[in-house]
Structure 1
Amino acid sequence: MGQAGLLGCKSSAVLEAPAETQAGKTDAALYFTNPVMDGADPWVWKQDSVYYSCGSGNGTIYVSQSTKLTKLGERVPVWKAPSTGWNAHNIWAPEIHFLQGKWYIYYAAGKDPGGPFIHQRSGVLESTTGSPFGPYVDKGMLYTGDSLQHPGTAKWAIDLSPFYLNGQLYAVWSGWEQNAATDRTKQHLYLARMSNPWTISSNRAKISSPTQPWETGGELDLNEGPELLKKNEKAFLIYSCRESWLKEYRLGQLTLSDTLADPMLASNWTKSDGPVFQSTAEVLGVGHCSFTTSPDNTEDWILYHAKKSAQPGWQRDIRMQKFTWTADGFPVFGEPVSSGVPIKVPSGQKE
């Protein structure tokens, strides 16, 4: 995306030593520690020096705002799922975006409560005012299938995220090749063109499948949570793989061979040789990230979630840390910073 909310391989993160006051104590206002809050699938959009975050719970999508990246503000409900319909239940991983002068929220939902989660599709909401807090109107289900002239043939789709590349608006998401009767179905990454923020205007193109040893071998092979990361002349898709409920959850990377190349062609994307961000002995199941910059735009930051324990399940918390770049323009995420270790607040953040 062409804004500070999205930016985008492996070495240790550099932590600065805590500043000491005359009393020999850490100046707490200059540092924070992970995790920063409970939750999963963190999403932050930076607009006019304000951070807007988005999340879901109990069938509701909320938005918060803050000038501090480490304190994302009060969660304000902006939309409630209808009692019936394709998007009545299982509201997952919303993202808020400012596109073409309006605020939009992209999310996944299903028609039936609970599992198996076989009905998930992707939808979009549009703010009817100039406010990220809405009110929002439901613009409907996005088409995520192979036969655009038959809208009822959308395929299972989650984690849809829009982005601009070379002036064209695209949608990227995680989906199934065919709808299935079990949610233990392999997930792939798909890309399609959009004619506006609420309309997909092409059939989908599969650009990645879980094929490498480091993204397979568990209970379910999947690629999900794709997010575009751009800097200078390079474009990346950072995505999650392995199982979200297990400690092996991790991030992989696709690199576009040339930012002028057609991103709809899988051959134009190169997959990383291994995970670009993965668990340590102390921080487990890291994945589903988003990217932003410090208040003064001099630093790049990754937000991600991690598991609260090694036991299978979806009890997770949200973390963040600074990342850097190699001399030739590739992101360096390092290792997840352990809980309780002081991290200097983003550059330019006020007390």
Structure 2
Amino acid sequence: MRKLFAAALLLQVLLISCVTSPHTSEKFFTNPVSDGADPWVIKKEDNYYFCGSAGGGVEGIYVSKSKKLTEPGKKVVVWKAPDSGWNQSSIWAPELHFFNGKWYIYYAAAKKPGSPFLFQRAGVLESASDDPFGPYIDKGMLYTGDSIQDPSPSTAKWAIDLTPLKLNGQLYAVWSGWEENAETDKTKQHLYIAKMSNPWTISSNRVKISSPTKSWETGGELDLNEGPQFLKNKKAFIIYSTHESWLKEYRLGQLALADTTLSPMEPDNWVKSGPVFQGTDKVFGVGHPSFSKSPDGTEDWIIYHAKKSTTPGWDRDIRLQKFIWKVDGSPYFGVPIPAGVPIRVPSGEELIP
């Protein structure tokens, strides 16, 4: 089995990295590309914008800009957590999106610092102009509960990793949450979806579309689904993380909407499969991805985090590699390439100074 795995990994490196290519103009990089976790990258025109938590989730949110997917730019703090309020601490997994000429940052935060993490809720910031570096206006907490007729903070449910999804002209929010607010953060996490009337307003009650029920999602310290990310080709997908983020078993699962004319608000329309990307004896705890194109738009890349060791905890770094599409229209992520192995840079990046 070990020999078969080694052969498969070597074949993947040769195919994806093109290590044997005779072209002298090719350039290479190695993983990891930076420290950190919960990576978010969005490509707009000729630039990549990276977004993440600043100061370990205490200071606020940063944005950086780069022409290269493999070289995140200088981090600039674009929003600082307030001194008080529901979002003063534990800033987690921010994402940067562009709608109708403005930038929006979706994030999770809490009113109290530290463990146990009982107060995480979802929020959104809006840029004052088309500048991704802000300034940003706090649009408040997004409603993640079951009482849309009375969408007050008191009825909102625990929520993290909220991401917007646009399908057939309708905007949706997808996130990880609890069925009910609890007195322990060792509470099972599910994936929920709701309609949005605009980028800062959830306009329907949530609908549960996934729970950790499969054998490859369960059996650890905490059964969870989290970190959902939207991916679309011929079909629509939600790629999400499962198992515990602090353990080496963290991995990716997939929900597929085979017919994109079907409503994503109907749980039965989503087909689960997995794991679609998981660690090896050299790469641990892979999860919470985002997806982007190469500079010339011809390749698809997954950006994800991995643990630096098998020791339980959240000491992680950020990595990326090319993925392909299968004949049935679903993504194939392959095997995570170990640190230090040369990978050909995304197509078009070799031409960038």
Gapped regions of structure 2 (runs ≥ 5): 1-7
Amino acid at match of 1:141: M
Q: CA-to-partner distance for each residue in 1:4-41, whole Å, 9 max, x for gaps?
A: xxxxxxx86333115579xxxx97x7000000000000
Cα distance in structure 2, aligned partners of 1:287 and 1:18: 29
Match of 2:28 in 1: 31
Match of 1:187 in 2: 189
Match of 2:247 in 1: 246
More moved, 173-182 vs 12-21: 12-21
Amino acid at match of 1:230: K
Cα distance in structure 2, aligned partners of 1:131 and 1:244: 33
Match of 1:90 in 2: 90
Give the deviation of 1:257 after TM superposition: 2.9
Cα distance in structure 2, aligned partners of 1:336 and 1:257: 26
Amino acid at match of 1:74: K
Amino acid at match of 1:257: A
Q: Determine if contact 1:18/1:342 at 8 Å carries over to the other structure.
A: no
Amino acid at match of 2:105: I
Match of 1:175 in 2: 177
Match of 2:105 in 1: 105
Amino acid at match of 2:225: N
Give the deviation of 1:268 after TM superposition: 0.2
* Identical columns (%): 68
Q: What count of residue pairs does the alignment treat as equivalent?
A: 334
Give the deviation of 1:328 after TM superposition: 2.0
Match of 2:328 in 1: 328
Q: Determine if contact 1:188/1:224 at 8 Å carries over to the other structure.
A: yes
Cα distance in structure 1, aligned partners of 2:122 and 2:326: 35
Matches within 5 A, 1:268-287: 268-272=269-273, 274-287=274-287
Matches within 5 A, 1:83-162: 83-152=83-152, 153-162=155-164
Cα distance in structure 1, aligned partners of 2:141 and 2:135: 18
Amino acid at match of 1:87: N
Pair 1:297 & 2:320 matched: no
Match of 1:264 in 2: 265
Q: Determine if contact 1:53/1:72 at 8 Å carries over to the other structure.
A: yes
Please state whether the residue corresponding to 2:275 is helix, strand or coil: coil
Matches within 5 A, 1:305-324: 305-324=305-324
Please state whether the residue corresponding to 1:158 is helix, strand or coil: strand
Cα distance in structure 2, aligned partners of 1:50 and 1:35: 20
Please state whether the residue corresponding to 2:297 is helix, strand or coil: coil
Pair 1:42 & 2:44 matched: no
Cα distance in structure 1, aligned partners of 2:270 and 2:184: 30
Structure 2 residue aligned with 1:52, among 49, 54, 73? 49
More moved, 220-229 vs 146-155: 146-155
Please state whether the residue corresponding to 1:275 is helix, strand or coil: strand
Structure 1 residues 103 and 112 mapped into 2: Cα distance closer, same or farther (>3 Å)?
A: same
Please state whether the residue corresponding to 1:267 is helix, strand or coil: helix
Gapped regions of structure 1 (runs ≥ 5): 1-10
Cα distance in structure 2, aligned partners of 1:75 and 1:19: 34
Please state whether the residue corresponding to 1:252 is helix, strand or coil: strand
After TM superposition, the score normalised by the length of structure 2 is 0.92
Q: Determine if contact 2:54/2:77 at 8 Å carries over to the other structure.
A: no
Please state whether the residue corresponding to 1:318 is helix, strand or coil: strand
Indicate the structure whose relative CO is greater, using CA pairs within 8 Å and at least 6 residues apart: 1
Q: Determine if contact 2:101/2:129 at 8 Å carries over to the other structure.
A: no
Amino acid at match of 1:243: E
Q: CA-to-partner distance for each residue in 1:77-112, whole Å, 9 max, x for gaps?
A: 100000110000000000000012110000000000
Cα distance in structure 2, aligned partners of 1:217 and 1:195: 38
Cα distance in structure 1, aligned partners of 2:205 and 2:244: 27
Give the deviation of 1:57 after TM superposition: 2.3
RMSD of equivalent CA atoms: 1.3
